[in-house]
Structure 1
């Protein structure tokens, strides 16, 4: 994943400053000019917020004045694109909410749609959704029929319950199904770019409302094509990892009679930074063909000595009666920023069509990582 410096670093700030100087030559851009000295220790979202606030400080006035400046920059600055769009769209949304008029709100929605193809307006639109959910959803519903795939994707991506890097929208999380009409309108979109967003949105919903998601997926599959099938499989991926029986059944993974030998570990003590290698044998002991989704679970040791499992995809296979397969995988314990590893007993298990196998224990040696 690119670093914050690669996305919103000095170059992005310089490009933003240049664009604003073109659009507002008389403005005192002291806050923007100071931004490069302040940005280094900040996370990506903090950098976007810093530049948003700098824009709002350097371009005072009403919403309409800011919107004119942004449109002038869009039309005249060659580098007005990429990750600098995030703080620009956030400034637009913030100023519109501060003004709190229908005209400002509606124009801000329109301007975000105009800019979304230059990066994405998915982060900024959350401010408007939080301010007036019903009005925003009415506009977004119209976007599902846009000729621009970027705008159609914004309709789905910007309303995701758990959009990465974005603030939450309590109104969406409190109203199960509020965004389903948007997904209904887009799940057969001609653009794979849009359909991937719909699948990720559906997967977000599954975290809190699995039955709603399974019911929605079932409706889509009733008149499905190959693309809808792929979308549903991707949208149900978290429920499959959780072993949700109805989701598994919907995807054709019925309960199966299988014999599992393993997982077997090459080593039972793994150094921090090393890898655990495991294998297993799986045989269909039933008298009919078995379609299997095979995952593995790493049971990580917690600080209190307990364990917590994380599920990883392994393979999908169809076995004839009596057929046996071998599966293998190497799982790394290389230090990463998103997980702290604690020394002590960990475990590996398989999960086949939602049913977990016996665990194989191993010891992770060494010290934890921050």
Structure 2
């Protein structure tokens, strides 16, 4: 009798699309069939036309459809769903209601998503509320500054990642590209950040800024190094933050 061959990869994709398991890597998130996912989460909801939308477009459309179809109580229960993508849909849906909310309310709402155990939810968290934060940039920076002192490194990371000048899968912030010093209340407290996860966000923020204002980034990094007394955390942030400048010098 021959061996039974099980297509575990195909089953894994089906489980992800049905919302039965959390994703392990970004590639798995990108392979999720959103039509299947919505059918599993809300079987009676009319189908959504996703057209040729990419992943962030699908998140926006799916979350809006769910938010309109379910009551707020029903929608909120999805916040404990096993699927990280479903939990991400919740903050995207709540972000619709937050469009007219004040910044403290926005941050109170996004906080549990920003500290979610899953990397995917944490990414959807800042992507979902970033447009609202950018509209009141000064207020957002002031409100996020205390987050840089939080004990939870995930919240410290969110404080910086949410307002990167360029970011990933999002619209750049013109004011920060032109005047990166506006972001100093978020950067200065984390110049010696001890955890690598938020360290990378600080470095990526600087790397974003270096693409438009390399002299400013270089001066800031040199200042940090001079004040750091050889701190290895600062050295790592600076090295990663200046990587674009170093590449420019090679060419």
Instruction: Indicate whether the TM-score tops 0.5.
Output: yes
- In structure 1, what is the Cα distance between the partners aligned to 2:160 and 2:132? 15
The 2-side partners of 1:181 and 1:7 are apart by 34
Among 58, 72, 77, which residue is 1:72 paired with?
A: 77
Counterpart CA distance in 2 for 1:197 and 1:171 is 19
Provide Cα deviations, 1:105-153, integer angstroms capped at 9, x if missing partner.
4222112121122421121121222222122212211111112111111
Deviating more after overlay: 158-167 vs 222-231: 222-231
1:232 aligns with 2:210: no
More helix by share: 2
Q: How many residues align?
A: 219
Give 2:85's match in structure 1, choosing from 83, 86, 94: 83
- Runs of 4+ in structure 1 displaced over 4 angstroms? 68-71
Question: Is contact 1:123–1:167 with CA below 8 Å preserved after alignment?
Answer: no
Distance 1:44 1:153, change over 3 A: same
Q: Aligned pair 1:9/2:32, yes or no? A: yes
Aligned match for 2:196, one of 192, 195, 198? 192
Deviations 1:239-285 (Å, cap 9, x if unpaired)?
11111xxxxxxxxxxxxxxxxxxxxxxxxxxxxxxxxxxxxxxxxxx
| Between structures 1 and 2, the one with greater strand share | 1
Match of 1:106 in 2: 104
Aligned residues of 1:12 and 1:84 also touching (Cα < 8 A): no
Report the CA distance between 1:69 and its aligned residue.
5.0
* Cα offset, 1:39, TM superposition: 4.0
2:154 paired residue number: 150
For the structure 1 residues 88 and 72, does the alpha-carbon distance in structure 2 shift closer, same or farther, using more than 3 Å as the test?
A: closer
CA RMSD of aligned residues (A): 2.8
1:55 to 2:70 alignment: no
**CA apart distance, 1:83:** 3.0
In 2: Cα distance, 1:231 partner to 1:125 partner = 26
Shift of 1:225: 1.1
Is the contact made by 1:129 and 1:136 (CA closer than 8 Å) also made in structure 2? yes
Distance 1:85 1:16 in 2: 16
- In the TM superposition, 1:115-126 aligns within 5 A as 115-116=113-114, 117=116, 118=118, 119-120=121-122, 121-126=125-130
1:45 CA drift (Å) = 1.6
Whole-Å Cα distance in 1 between the matches of residues 44 and 213 of structure 2?
47
Q: Which has the larger radius of gyration?
A: 1
Shift of residue 50, structure 1, vs aligned partner: 1.4
Paired residue for 1:46?
A: 57
Q: TM-score, with normalisation over the residues of structure 2? A: 0.75
